[in-house]
Structures are given as structure tokens and as C-alpha cells.
Amino acid sequence: MRLISWNTNRSARDRIEKQVKVLCARKPDVLALQEVTPKAAEIFREQLERMGWKHIVDSFPRRGSGRLKNGRQYGELIASQWKLKQIASTEFGVPWPEKVLSVVIKTELGDVEIHSVHVPNGSEHGRVKTDTFEAIYKRLARNPRRHRILCGDFNSPQEETPDGQLITWGQNKNADGRFVIGKRKWDGITDERWDLAERCVLEGLRRYDLNDVFRSKHGYRKKAFSFFTNNRGRRVGRRFDHIFASSALKIVACEYLQQLRRLSDHAPMEAVFNL
């Protein structure tokens, strides 16, 4: 099974047509797309159906999606070559339901539960980010009944070290270069809670058999970034986009498709599993 997860950066029609073309050229079985507007979802559906995709869902409500504002106009879309059944987003209890899209895909070898998420960035949306992380963990921190995949844009972590340490946005760098949990409060959330909210998903879900696919395949010495930002004139890479999966889904390959970042501000993430 070939899965591609991609923050498509609220694309317009001309770029969506190019995105669909390059995605389909890789012959994926499942597409999980983030930062899709209601209008873009219609265009993606139209273009994918032209390419032979029959099973497509998005995270927007049937009515009123055009009134979503202030970061809420961006949702999720999942397309599958297999039949799928959508799971109600209300099961997650996230502040903004359109940021999570869940389906069960009916493969020849059994059901696979797939969750596509886009965690809002903290600099603009404050506690919505931590509340979203906490809701995702609460929903997925359980012994699974079937194989699961969690993927998307998490806007975290801040950094990773070659020895496997994860640095969250609740940590600050000391004068000696060590990262410690800060003593700030942002939008009513302490750095301690911020750190725990990010860490419980990015690290804590492995206790429930949701493992970081890229790190499972490559370890921590391989540097990889899916997004770049300017920090005081310095270009800084972040690995914000992730795929987590059940260990029974054997990893064949996992890479960031950097050559496609010309069509978005994020690189798509591709994983191949042996079902």
C-alpha cells in the first residue's frame, strides 16, 4: 500500500491540476491531503475522479462550510483506491472538527483505519493547538481493534537531535545549549502543558502501536525536513509532517518528496507498506 500525505497549501485550480498529476504519477493507493479549502476540495474531487479515483471524502460539513473563517476554512481530504467508510469527526472532540478526517479502508487483507490531521500552528491559534493534540491523544490512546495510520501536518516538533531527543515548542534553549521546559504562559497554556500535549502524540502514541514511520525506517541520524521558515534571516528546516502506523504494517519505504515542494510550502510524505 502506497500512502502519500501532503499539506497542499490551499491551492487554486491551476496548481491543484499540477498536484493531482504528479501525485497520480506515483500510483498511490491512498491520498491524505491537508490545508484544503471547501472550493479546493471540489476541484480535487473533480480532478481525481477524472483520473479514475472513486472513493473520496472531505472533512467539511455539508452546509455552512463557506462561512468558516480565521484558519477554519482549511480542512482535509482523503482519496482511496479501495472502498472506505468515514468515521464521524465528533469522535475526536477537537476544537475545530474540520482539522481531522478519519476513514476505514476496506483492503483485500482487512480493514485499515486512517486519520488525516492538521494541527493548527501555535503562534496564531494558541491553545487550539494544545487542545487539538490532547484530543488526538485521548481518541487514539487505546488498544487498537485494527491496523491504524495517523498522518498529516502537526506543526511540531521544534527540533530533533541525532540521539533521538524530541524538542517541543514548550522548550527553550539555555545559554549552555540545553533545551529545558520554559516558564512562559501563552494563551493561558503553560510551557509544561504545551510540551506534554505535543509529546503525548509524537512520542506517547507508540505505546498504542502508532510508530513514527520515518524514524522507524531511517533512525534519528538522518536529517529530513518537510517545511522551511525564515528565522531572523536564517533558513530553518522543520519536520512538521509525519506518518505513524501500526507495526504490523511492514514499512518498505518512507521519504519526503522534496522535488514536489515547488507545488506547496510543504514536501509530501510517501510511505509504502507491505500489508
DSSP per-residue codes, 73-137: T-EEEEEESS-EEEEPGGGT--SSGGGEEEEEEEETTEEEEEEEEEPPPHHHHTHHHHHHHHHHH
What's the CATH number where 105 sits?
3.60.10.10
The reply to whether 195 falls in a domain is no
Inside any domain, residue 121: yes
Range of the domain at 16: 2-156+206-274
Q: How many whole angstroms separate alpha carbon 151 and alpha carbon 116?
A: 5
Q: How many domains does the chain have?
A: 1
Could you tell me what percent of the chain has a pLDDT over 70?
A: 100
For 109-144, write each residue's pLDDT tens digit.
789 999 999 999 988 888 999 999 999 999 999 998
Average pLDDT over residues 193-209: 97
Does residue 114 lie in a domain region? Answer: yes
Query: Mean pLDDT across the stretch 40-44?
Result: 97
Task: Name the pLDDT band for 234 (thresholds 50, 70, 90).
Answer: confident
Q: Any residues with CB less than 8 A from the CB of 57 and at least 6 apart, and which? A: 77, 78, 84, 86, 101, 103
Classify residue 123: in a domain, yes or no.
Answer: yes
User: What is the b/e burial string over 197-222, where b = at least 16 CB atoms within 10 angstroms of the residue's CB?
Assistant: bbbbbbeebeebbbbbbbbeeeeeee
